[in-house]
A and B are shown apart, each in its own frame.
Chain A
């Protein structure tokens, strides 16, 4: 793709090798306002999502919030809801004239003013921010669960109150993992397309990634699209430099040391009711409210406010009938289950090995891998997908399930790497050093010291990558072999073509399958999702 960015011509026909694409990109007058919108949108969403995720992780791991079982489960279920389902549900809730919330205020309180507007930057930040919460939660939870309490106890002995201790001791120690999640969410925001298309364009808020898509979809020019992607790469490198610099004294952030300890649950007094309400509120906005909206939309003939409010008098099951009779519903689900489990396992293991090499060995130039391993996140999915096709098209892998597996590996490796990096930084080097001193080789240190300590991180990352991979379409699309459906194509295809009622029905079925799977895994097989 780098080579392509230096070529001119359409449809990949190489006319000349020069820097013309880059000149065009960096002299484009539209670029600055678009980058400005992109940064505001991505940084706002990442701050909201990672902040809320961190707060939920702390509440679940470290506080005596009542209703333990519920509190552990409530942050987990919103992870299952794909971001695009949240988009559609929140557009229906927040649309100015036809939205449920404005309609409710108008009908019941006579408020004619349009209080909510889905097509504004704050609404975009709200919706994509909610989609960023799971990553923050899953990255921070293992850190809070493996916290050496002596660090906080010192604060208590010095007279610090629980909340002050949390703000001055606990959260600063979780800084590397927080920053890791923030950087990932920020990069996801920079390249995210659905929210800007569905909510930004109608409000006149254009983001930078639209330029990349226009280069591909209007101009059919991968060279210029890749050159535009360079801007995203530069922003990604800057974000990573910021991360590396902020965490350069990694020993400062080690929360897992050689001393024996048990994670202490903090008594936060009356605040425990407030924390329960906070978790419950997230559960409501993260999944319950959008899920209820989608259930109703999937069961009515069409959405408008009056029809929505008539439910259940106008119940209609035709959308479910159509989805369940979709020709690729079962085959797509089967293929994606197999591949996403495999990819989650391989990617997480590779991410940990890479993070271990970067932070625990003295391999020359290993820090460079910190950047290279995160680079795929800087590419919009279609550009990344094209790069992968070019890489495998001349090999026997092309048009096989393994090419798709490779594509998913590349797409999700940054998540595994950032997750493992954040967690390894929190493990004090003295544990490794003790093993080195006793003559252990790197593989003993890795498999017998580091990996067991990373267990909570591993399960969280496995769960997250599995959920993301099973519903991937954007990266997979060019790598899927004809005749091999991937993913629950049914519902995402409906989302793509704008058939929201069918998409809602498919989404409800998909969510019910996943909720059942998670519940069975948790209650029947006693599998812990980082908890």
Chain B
């Protein structure tokens, strides 16, 4: 009997130990999709051994991102080339047609959808889609372009501020506001596409565009130069500015601030995987890592906007705007893939007519 009891105790202890061990093993197993996919991709990416990125972002930012990525995933040699969106599209498409495989991932906002429309992007859906503010099933959204309405605090009192984007078209702001050129597929064009989609009211949208036109104010082809002139006091309002620029400037003590009642316009910044990429797994790994909390923290450290829901950063909507502020996304497929056609159809008749 004693022997049987002893055996039962031993078996019980063994069973409990095995059960506890199983729990412990289960706890250390991949609990989120990123951990699982990154392990698989890293093994393949190490075999590929290299990664080339084309990006519109500042060289300082690209170097910081690739540096952090290389530290996290040793054995993948990274390289980059930096250009503006038209230059990226031109280079990628020329290489695509010539059958070159110089690039693996394209980090940018406007360029990847255009390149995708030409068939030069490999469809890849991130496993972290549930965590994203904006999701695209063919290109991972790694960051956001967030447009803000900005004013010079020395030039406008809070009481005199417009309450919304639509308010800017009020004739009382004539002489105070500078507009991005709405016909150049820049930020104001994006905003018009977003508001048209949001309002679903053509009469209201037409009134807004005509109101902006009626202001007869300077139109800029460089948003960044326009922002400089707002800071300098040449204009009181920038229509629009980019949130990360504004946060950066406010950090330096520059006399600018956000009109917090004008909901931010959000546009995706993608990591597009090149269709003929020589190192596709390394490119996918970069995209997944950028969306992970670690990657988003790296983006935050260089002042770039996070694309992850609930990720608190200096440039997140939750941080810069009052609670409950709803961002306005751009969903218009034609605008994303052929902005010229969209502008010619929708804006040109009102702006140049």
**Interface majority SS on A: helix, strand, loop or mixed?**
loop
- CB-CB under 8 A from A12, the residues of chain B are 93-94, 97
Q: Once the chains are docked, how many angstroms separate the CA of A202 from the CA of B227?
A: 13
Q: Using known A-B contacts A204-B219, A398-B100, determine if residue A478 contacts B338 with beta carbons closer than 8 Å.
A: no
Distance from B75 Cβ to chain A, minimum over Cβ atoms (Å) = 17
Q: Once the chains are docked, how many angstroms separate the CA of A95 from the CA of B234?
A: 7
Stretch at the interface among A150-158, A296-304, A348-356: A296-304
Complex interface residues of chain A between 480 and 513 (CB less than 8 A to chain B): 480-483, 485, 489-490, 493, 496-500
- Interface status of B346 (Cβ within 8 A of chain A): no
Interface string of B37-70 (1 = CB under 8 A from A): 0000000000000001010001110010000000
- CB-CB under 8 A from A303, the residues of chain B are 228, 231-232
Contact of A302 among B52, B231, B234 (CB under 8 A): B231
Contact of A220 among B114, B221, B225, B231 (CB under 8 A): B114
Interface string of B155-192 (1 = CB under 8 A from A): 00000000000000000000000100101110000000
Assess the B184–A218 pair: CB atoms within 8 A: yes
- Interface status of B325 (Cβ within 8 A of chain A): no
- CB-CB under 8 A from A13, the residues of chain B are 118
Assess the A201–B220 pair: CB atoms within 8 A: yes
Complex interface residues of chain A between 258 and 292 (CB less than 8 A to chain B): none
Assess the A390–B94 pair: CB atoms within 8 A: yes
- Interface status of A399 (Cβ within 8 A of chain B): yes
Distance from A369 Cβ to chain B, minimum over Cβ atoms (Å) = 28
Assess the A97–B91 pair: CB atoms within 8 A: no
Contact of B227 among A221, A222, A498 (CB under 8 A): A498
- Interface status of A305 (Cβ within 8 A of chain B): yes
Residue among B83, B103, B228 with the highest chain A CB neighbour number at 10 A = B228
Q: Once the chains are docked, how many angstroms separate the CA of A341 from the CA of B103?
A: 30
Distance from B269 Cβ to chain A, minimum over Cβ atoms (Å) = 15
Interface string of B105-141 (1 = CB under 8 A from A): 0000000001101100000000000000000000000
Distance from A407 Cβ to chain B, minimum over Cβ atoms (Å) = 13
- Interface status of B26 (Cβ within 8 A of chain A): no
Assess the B86–A304 pair: CB atoms within 8 A: no
Distance from B337 Cβ to chain A, minimum over Cβ atoms (Å) = 10
Q: Once the chains are docked, how many angstroms separate the CA of A498 from the CA of B219?
A: 16
Stretch at the interface among B9-17, B193-201, B247-255, B311-319: B247-255
- Interface status of A197 (Cβ within 8 A of chain B): yes
Residue among B58, B219, B225, B343 with the highest chain A CB neighbour number at 10 A = B225
Q: Once the chains are docked, how many angstroms separate the CA of A216 from the CA of B60?
A: 26
Assuming A98-B232, A218-B184, A482-B79, what are 18 further A-B pairs, CB within 8 angstroms?
A: A10-B118, A13-B118, A95-B229, A95-B232, A119-B218, A202-B229, A203-B218, A210-B221, A217-B85, A301-B254, A303-B231, A328-B63, A389-B94, A390-B94, A485-B59, A497-B224, A498-B223, A500-B228
Interface residues of A (CB under 8 A from B): 10-13, 92, 95-98, 119, 197-198, 201-204, 210, 213-214, 216-222, 301-305, 326-328, 382, 386, 389-390, 393-394, 398-399, 477-478, 480-483, 485, 489-490, 493, 496-500
25 A-B contact pairs sorted by A residue (CB < 8 Å) = A10-B118, A95-B229, A95-B232, A98-B234, A201-B181, A202-B220, A203-B218, A216-B86, A218-B339, A219-B340, A220-B89, A220-B90, A220-B340, A302-B231, A305-B232, A305-B233, A382-B87, A393-B98, A482-B54, A489-B59, A493-B58, A496-B84, A498-B222, A499-B224, A500-B228
Which 10 A-B pairs give the minimum distances between C-beta atoms?
A498-B224, A202-B218, A217-B86, A98-B232, A219-B340, A482-B81, A98-B234, A11-B118, A327-B63, A98-B233
